[in-house]
Structure 1
Amino acid sequence: MSSFIENFNLFMFILFAFMYLYQIIYMFIAFKEKRKQRQVNHNQHKNRFAVLIAARNEEVVIGQLIKSIKKQNYPKELVDIFVVADNCTDKTAMIAEREGAIVRERFNKEQVGKGYALDFMIKFIENEYAHKQYDGYLVLDADNLLDKNYIAEMNKTFNEGYRVITSYRNSKNFDHNWISAGYGLWFLHEAEYLNLPRMTLKNSCAISGTGFLVKAEIFKENGGWIHHLLTEDIEFSVSQIIKGEKIGYCRNAVLYDEQPVTFKQSWHQRLRWAKGFYQVFSNYGKSLISGVLFNKGNRFSCYDMAMTVMPAMLITCFSIAVNSSFYLAGIFGIIDGKEIIPVTTFAILKSFCWYFGILFILGLITTITEWKRIHSSNWKKILYTFTFPLFMVTYIPIAIVALFKKVEWKPIAHTVAKSIDDVLDNVKN
């Protein structure tokens, strides 16, 4: 029986390594690409953009976002800001309007979620502002802040022919605690060690929650925003990739957003993400697999997205379940405990150490290479490199619970009312 467990764990390790080897290759590609300076023609057409912000009780932060948009090094007459105050009970609408946004309120307790709010505003723009003929829609969250060159940089990549573009996602409260830093470090890794090599290899990138630009014709083709699963961002990415779309990445367009700082908030948010990933795989898994087999233009991108939305957590959960079952069987005397308990205990500890070690290396590499772009004191950057694996390991119980628990969308309170200047000044030694 002990040999079965040993062989099982070896097989699971080999399977996991085989499935995700490409992400190690991604890192080497990123190292090489990060040394280069992309050559872009600076004498470019200036496109007209509508900024879409879905906000629910965001009176604390919405004003600073709009101010950072107003400060862009981009022609102001080519950027209009639209805010949908979605089921708000505070002063979000009033503050957004005062800061110069075009605001509409939406009250619907049945259709709850960011996707419904975006669809509401897209249809409003198409009906009331069709004469503006927007080239693209920039989707932001109310807690975001934009670097002053954000829209100008996104416009450059837009002019390269990409119809969907994601950006560099930084954090405005990285230094708060190990939870906010865990989020921040993962989003930096996702930007530079997943999306950058994808862009380099001409594969499709993936949008991540906020800070993305969509060509107006895509929403017309889709009939608005039609994605309403718990993770509407990854659903949108997967659906477009299946259609053959190549999502681009603009690493010079820097966005800052606020991360949760309590474990309770983080648990609820990541539980929704985990459940949403399961939903996406359930709804689109067959099409992704079909894309891997038959979509010559986007075959690898389909594989990449299939690995992104499901297998890692399922393999981990399955491995834990099998080892735990044998461990409990040994304790209760169903099988020989003297033999199986030490073997399964060692296997679980070894798996944990491997998982922890790999995550530490990922966090360390990201911290070192993005050091100057992380807005925190140096000692906190070092400290949170060590806590990053712990943050990521907490995904395991979350993923297990998400398999069985009914999950609904819940808003996350945002309270960091920093300006973009406050964030950029927060680099201490």
Structure 2
Amino acid sequence: MIATSAAVALLVLATGACLILVIPTLAGLLPRRSRAANAPAHTFAILIPAHNEEASLPATLRSLGKLTYPPARVRVWVVADNCTDSTPSVAWAFGAACVARFDRTRRGKGHAVAFGLDRVLRDAADVVLVLDADCELNPTALQALDAVFAAGADAAQCAVRSRNADAGPTGYVAAVGAALDDSVAAGRDRLGGSVPLRGTGMAFRRSVLEFIPWTAFGLAEDAEYAAKLHAAGVRVRHCADAVVGCDSPGNWRDLGKQRRRWRAAGVLASKPLGLALIAAAATLGFACGFAWWPASLLVLTVAVYAHAIASVGVTARRLGLLARSPLVVARLAWVASAGRLKRTPKSWDRTPRLSESERRAA
């Protein structure tokens, strides 16, 4: 009797975790309304917080040089935050405005963003786009964002896609997770909801930043600011046609370091923990004689992840990485539930990235 009650309780929780993914994923598959191409209506400031990014910043700035939005309506700002390398020189070489910040006590990306916004908002930009220094934008990203803001949005989150899905099981798991996040965000937007901010590719109307100043200085500064927007009734729109490409950590050490920071956003946002809950509920449910309930959960969950896997792309190598991914997912679930990694980083330590040559070889 106790086992049956426990199974029912777990199945109820697992059903909720499953439907949180299934419903928006299905909604996201509905055809989107096409927006007519109009003349550019907004000016953009692209703000790039950078901490010792001399190696990755050139690719980011080259991608911004390929934007098809009118150059006169775009200004790129780099915040060289406590840098000890040539990040400022790289920014200037590409024609970006660069402001340097040195503060050994108030460290972190949130402080760098706040410092940059203080400068950026002195200009006349209509929209500020925050982009990480190791990310690239697709050429038509600003046209897509311009259309979203012209339709009345106050804040928007770009789609985020991994460039290194072939970089081992950890890179593959992160790429599938990013694809699932995009699918869920597209559905939440279609259903009229607000989507989470993802740290990079975050765009805000100037008036929003003036009304709700950036005071998000924690390790999960995106989730912190998103909570402030939610409290003020500001909806964050999903912009599927503005795509940010970035590298996911290619090994467990770097991925674990990243996810320890993400734990600050709360365990409820953890997909691996949700998978662990669904697996445990299904196992106990079958053991207690349930059939259709746990089976339905497994089928729906597999279908949602199969859609994400297909969107990343299927190759012989990726099928091999998929077979090795359960161990990575299990370890990530352990991290999300605190596990053995109890120490949370207190400073902004950049996650090691693949070089361009390593990415091509992956």
Question: TM (normalized to structure 2)?
Answer: 0.86
Partner Cα separation in structure 2 for residue 381 and residue 157 of structure 1? 34
Correspondence for 1:77 among 50, 72, 75: 72
**Superposition pairs of residues 249-328 of structure 1, within 5 angstroms:** 249-277=238-266, 308=269, 316=277
1:136 maps to a residue whose letter is: V
Partner Cα separation in structure 1 for residue 87 and residue 270 of structure 2? 33
Partner Cα separation in structure 2 for residue 17 and residue 403 of structure 1? 28
Partner Cα separation in structure 2 for residue 414 and residue 165 of structure 1? 26
Contact 2:169–2:322 (CA<8 Å) still a contact in 1? no
**Superposition pairs of residues 229-268 of structure 1, within 5 angstroms:** 229-268=218-257
Deviations, residues 247-300 of structure 1 (Å, cap 9, x unaligned): 11111111100111111111111011113326xxxxxxxxxxxxxxxxxxxxxx
**Secondary structure of 1:214's match?**
strand
How many residues align structurally?
351
Q: Give unpaired runs (5+ residues) of structure 1.
A: 279-306, 321-342
Are 1:15 and 2:13 matched, yes or no?
A: yes
Are 1:414 and 2:356 matched, yes or no?
A: no
Are 1:400 and 2:337 matched, yes or no?
A: yes
Are 1:115 and 2:114 matched, yes or no?
A: no
Per the TM alignment, residue 388 of structure 1 is displaced from its structure 2 partner at its CA by: 4.3
Are 1:366 and 2:289 matched, yes or no?
A: no
Correspondence for 2:328 among 391, 399, 422: 391
Sort the Cα spacing of 1:164 and 1:123 in 2 relative to 1 into closer, same or farther, 3 A: same
Sort the Cα spacing of 1:153 and 1:239 in 2 relative to 1 into closer, same or farther, 3 A: same
Higher-RCO chain (CA-CA 8 Å, sequence separation at least 6): 2
In the alignment, which residue of structure 1 is the partner of 2:83? Answer: 88
In the alignment, which residue of structure 2 is the partner of 1:206? Answer: 196
Per the TM alignment, residue 125 of structure 1 is displaced from its structure 2 partner at its CA by: 2.4
Contact 2:67–2:140 (CA<8 Å) still a contact in 1? yes
Aligned-pair identity (%): 21
Higher percent of residues as helix: 1
In the alignment, which residue of structure 1 is the partner of 2:157? Answer: 166
Contact 1:271–1:402 (CA<8 Å) still a contact in 2? no
2:58 maps to a residue whose letter is: G
Per the TM alignment, residue 367 of structure 1 is displaced from its structure 2 partner at its CA by: 2.1
Sort the Cα spacing of 1:403 and 1:355 in 2 relative to 1 into closer, same or farther, 3 A: farther
Sort the Cα spacing of 1:358 and 1:416 in 2 relative to 1 into closer, same or farther, 3 A: farther
In the alignment, which residue of structure 1 is the partner of 2:129? Answer: 138
RMSD: 3.3
In the alignment, which residue of structure 2 is the partner of 1:292? Answer: none
Sort the Cα spacing of 1:160 and 1:386 in 2 relative to 1 into closer, same or farther, 3 A: farther
Correspondence for 2:51 among 45, 51, 56: 56
Are 1:30 and 2:28 matched, yes or no?
A: yes
Per the TM alignment, residue 176 of structure 1 is displaced from its structure 2 partner at its CA by: 1.3
**Secondary structure of 2:354's match?**
coil
Contact 1:229–1:276 (CA<8 Å) still a contact in 2? no
**Secondary structure of 1:141's match?**
coil
Partner Cα separation in structure 2 for residue 93 and residue 180 of structure 1? 30
Contact 1:51–1:82 (CA<8 Å) still a contact in 2? yes
Sort the Cα spacing of 1:276 and 1:29 in 2 relative to 1 into closer, same or farther, 3 A: closer
Contact 2:44–2:127 (CA<8 Å) still a contact in 1? yes
Per the TM alignment, residue 360 of structure 1 is displaced from its structure 2 partner at its CA by: 4.7
Per the TM alignment, residue 206 of structure 1 is displaced from its structure 2 partner at its CA by: 1.4
Contact 1:360–1:386 (CA<8 Å) still a contact in 2? no
Per the TM alignment, residue 22 of structure 1 is displaced from its structure 2 partner at its CA by: 4.2
Per the TM alignment, residue 353 of structure 1 is displaced from its structure 2 partner at its CA by: 11
Q: Considering only CA atoms, is the larger Rg found in Structure 1 or Structure 2?
A: 1
